[in-house]
Amino acid sequence: MIPKNVFAFNDTSRSSIVMDIDSGRILYQKNANEKRLVASITKIMTATIALEKGNLNDVFVAGDEVLKMYGTNIYLEKGEEMKLQDLLYGLLLRSGNDAAVVIANNICSNEKEFVKLMNKKALEIGMTGTTYMNSHGLDEETKNYSTAHDMALLSSYIYRTSKEYRKITKTYKYEVQSNNKSYLWYNRNKFLKQYDYATGGKNGYTPSAGKTLVTTAEKYDLRLTAVTLKDANQYETHANLYDYLFEKYKSYTIVDKDNFEIKNNFYKDNLYLKKSFKYPLMEEEKSKIKTIVELNKIKNYKDGTKVGVVNVLLDNDKIGSVSVYIKKKAQKKKKFLFSS
């Protein structure tokens, strides 16, 4: 008999991870830095480049590249026209390989140049174990390698920064009309319908990579992303991981910008914070949190100058910081009396 609130499950993936989207804290991992083929979750990076480099209202034209695509497609025809926004739905909901290469060849002069942007972005995000060779994830001719950790970094990044990405990946059904036919697409990510707290994600599969899955979920003000690589029971694994971690962790506001006292004997003007700091903690970790204010003694400063930081420590390890700024008090205008 398993006691209440104690979870037992078997993680059947080859590699897996769960990360807090907002802080980047790793809440669970297994072989998370092992490089593996990632199949169609590649398209999360394809979408990232498209969202940052393209205009959603631009009309893209399908070229010869669609004739070479196989596997999952949205079945674009050569010469067919479609807005980038609609192509992104075809890319992320239906996992269209043809949508991927059309996006790549319209944003850049060719797919090779687009892939350079993918690899450059990966390094910017910190995805040091990732190498992209194509925009779609098929791996018979060229292969894309990444890690569960890197894919969690990417998922967290694009989920935080792109409202459009969040909107697309949580969409279950989408209808669109191109210049010559209409489409009705349903999201291939079954987790959206299977898990109450799911907010998005992308699945993938090739015989070599196995089943790959990136998902996002939110509960109790805690936003998490999970990644599994080569897992035949991926949806069950993700549900079990989320259930376990949503029970184990809660999001706490450790530094509240509207209610945080900073004691100092140097500055006469008001000190303030622009941001708060939240972090996922287990109940037993709450007593191990400390905040340390470090102020620089700056004599000549302007309104809004950064004058220090609030460091946040968990068990004496730094987990974050918040900048401290100064607001100069308004000077009273002197009154001058004139006599004639």
User: Helix, strand or coil for residue 244?
Assistant: helix
Q: Do residues 238 and 262 share a domain?
A: no
Residue 10 lies in a domain: no
Q: Do residues 272 and 225 share a domain?
A: no
In this structure, how many other beta carbons lie within 10 angstroms of the beta carbon of residue 303? Answer: 11
Q: Do residues 237 and 143 share a domain?
A: yes
Per-residue pLDDT, 217: 98
Q: Do residues 80 and 192 share a domain?
A: yes
List the domain range (segments joined by +) for residue 125.
15-248
Per-residue pLDDT, 328: 83
Q: Do residues 40 and 143 share a domain?
A: yes
Q: Would you say the C-alpha torsion 246, 33, 13, 217 has a positive or negative sign?
A: positive
CATH at 297: 2.60.410.10
Q: How many CA atoms lie within 13 A of 26 on its CB side?
A: 15
Q: Do residues 145 and 31 share a domain?
A: yes
What is the number of domains present in the chain?
2
What positions carry a catalytic annotation? 40, 43, 95
- What is the pLDDT tens value at each position of the chain, 340 positions in all? 333 344 557 899 999 999 999 999 999 999 999 999 999 999 999 999 999 999 999 999 999 999 999 999 999 999 999 999 999 999 999 999 999 999 999 999 999 999 999 999 999 999 999 999 999 999 999 999 999 999 999 999 999 999 999 999 999 999 999 999 999 999 999 999 999 999 999 999 999 999 999 999 999 899 999 999 999 999 999 999 999 999 999 999 999 999 998 888 898 878 999 999 999 999 999 999 999 999 998 988 899 999 999 999 999 999 999 999 998 876 555 554 544 4
Residue 8 lies in a domain: no
Tokens representing 26 are 């790793």
Q: Do residues 111 and 44 share a domain?
A: yes
Q: Do residues 234 and 261 share a domain?
A: no
Residue 182 lies in a domain: yes
Q: What's the N-to-C CA distance of the chain in angstroms?
A: 98
Residue 28 lies in a domain: yes
Residue 7 lies in a domain: no
* Residues facing residue 228 across a β-bridge: 16, 213
Global pTM reads: 0.91
